[in-house]
Amino acid sequence: MLTIRHDLPPEFADCEARDLHRILREPTLVHLPGAQEPPLFVSILLHGNEITGLLAVQEMLRRRAGRPLPRALTLFIGNVAAARYCQRYLPGQPDYNRIWCSGRDQEHEMTREVLQRMRARGVFAAIDIHNNTGRNPRYTIIAQRTPAHLALARQFSHIVVYATCPDTTCTYAFARIAPAVTVEAGISGQDEGTLHVADYLETCLHLDRLETADNDEHLSLFHTVAVVKVPWERSFGFSDADVDLRFHSEIDRYNFQELEPGTCLAKLRPGVDSICLDVRESDGSRHADEYFAVHGDELRLTRRVMPAMLTTDEDIIRMDCLCYLMERMPEPL
């Protein structure tokens, strides 16, 4: 289910994500030549509703105006079928950013082939471009804390999240063979995020090496300690919804804010006296009661944490998670 190409169709230059299926019928790996080798790997549309990666690549190529790339570029265009309907993924599909691991499905075979091909080419670095549905700053995620990973991350933002869970992501897989980052580019399709990512790609294509992080700018480094999900058997909503868990209608304002113990994150339905959340640390163990407690009809934090990726999109919460919880880490020397 993987097409290999050495050029982009002319229609790609201004094609909308929803129309990509007309020119690319399946996930496609495109090898483009450049003045330097090995190639920079860039993945876009692993989630079909996150289009900033596509727009940024189109912008970057438009700026080149036919001039050769400063470094070879391998572009992986992921879930074009879901992009047609502006969905994260379609019913019956796996999440395309949860398949970069062992498995027997055709999607796992596809990602294994992508990794094998890029390992054979000695990939320079890997960038996986995503969007958030809630309000978040633009930031990067790394799976290893080496100087090269930090240098690649810092080229995009001084806000860096170190996360080793889930271990099934594109960035986690590539981190074993090259410096790798996930770029979180804000709300999908916004011009400011698109231009920021296009500038970043241009910068990375001009880099000669990634050996040390530039310490001229302060680095805000955080470590993901837990992922928070709403169990399927629990109902949830926002504002006036008659549900087990009622979150504030602007809960995503808490993203990247250090919250103190006692902060209320939700109101509970009368008669509900349990935490109603599934909280798992990186080893998969459940620790809801280490982060949350019930006080009357309120669900409150019990320790100082910083959430990321909080959203008011109920579909995304069901398909992925409510949020990740992070703690601040000391800046590397």
Contacts with 92 (C-beta within 8 Å, 6 or more apart), sequence order: none
Determine the length of the chain. Answer: 333
Give the domain-ending residue among 218, 242, 260. 218
Q: Are residues 89 and 172 in the same domain?
A: yes
Position 149 in a domain:
yes
- Please indicate, yes or no, if residue 98 is contained in any of the structural domains: yes
- Residue pair 73/153 in contact (Cβ under 8 Å)? The answer is no
d(CA 213, CA 149): 8
Q: Which helix (H) or strand (E) holds 315?
A: helix 314-319
Rounded Cα distance between 272 and 280, Å, is: 21
Q: What is the CATH number of the domain that holds 57?
A: 3.40.630.10
Are residue 288 and residue 203 in the same domain, yes or no?
A: no
pTM for the full predicted model: 0.94
Decide which of 198, 218, 238 is a domain's last residue: 218
Question: pLDDT value at position 283?
Answer: 83
Q: Which residue has the tokens 């302060």?
A: 218
Is residue 332, in this structure, part of any structural domain at all? no
Give the per-residue pLDDT at 249. Answer: 87
Look up the domain containing 79 and give its range.
3-218
Whether residues 148 and 269 fall in one domain:
no
Same domain for 155 and 264, yes or no, is: no
Q: Domain check: are 203 and 239 in the same one?
A: no
**Residue 177 forms part of a structural domain:** yes
- Tell whether 61 and 111 lie within a shared domain: yes
From 218, 249, 279, give the residue that closes a domain.
218
Residue 333 is assigned to a structural domain of this protein: no
Contact 308, 226 (CB under 8 A): no
Can you tell me the distance from the alpha carbon of 94 to that of 196, in angstroms, rounded to the nearest whole number?
29
Is residue 289, in this structure, part of any structural domain at all? yes
Cis peptide before 91 (omega within 30 of 0): no
240 and 212 part of one domain: no
Tokens describing residue 286: 């459940």
Residue 240 lies in a domain: yes
The verdict on residue 331 lying in a domain is no
Q: Are residues 212 and 234 in the same domain?
A: no
CB 265 within 8 A of CB 251: yes
Q: Tell me the pLDDT of the chain (333 aa) as tens digits.
A: 999 999 999 999 999 999 999 999 999 999 999 999 999 999 999 999 999 999 999 999 999 987 999 999 999 999 999 999 999 999 999 999 999 999 989 999 999 999 999 999 999 999 999 999 889 999 999 999 999 999 999 999 999 999 999 999 999 999 999 999 999 999 999 999 999 999 999 999 999 998 765 554 678 999 999 999 999 999 999 977 789 999 988 999 999 999 999 999 999 999 998 999 999 998 888 889 999 999 999 999 999 999 999 999 999 999 999 999 999 988 665
Q: Are 23 and 108 within 8 A, CB to CB?
A: no
Task: Note whether 230 and 165 are same-domain residues.
Answer: no
Q: Which helix (H) or strand (E) covers residue 245, if one does?
A: strand 245-247
- Same domain for 63 and 191, yes or no, is yes
**Domain check: are 184 and 38 in the same one?**
yes
What pLDDT is attached to residue 216?
Answer: 46
Total domains in the fold of the chain: 2
Whether residues 260 and 128 share a domain: the answer is no
Q: How far apart are CA 159 and CA 140, in angstroms?
A: 7
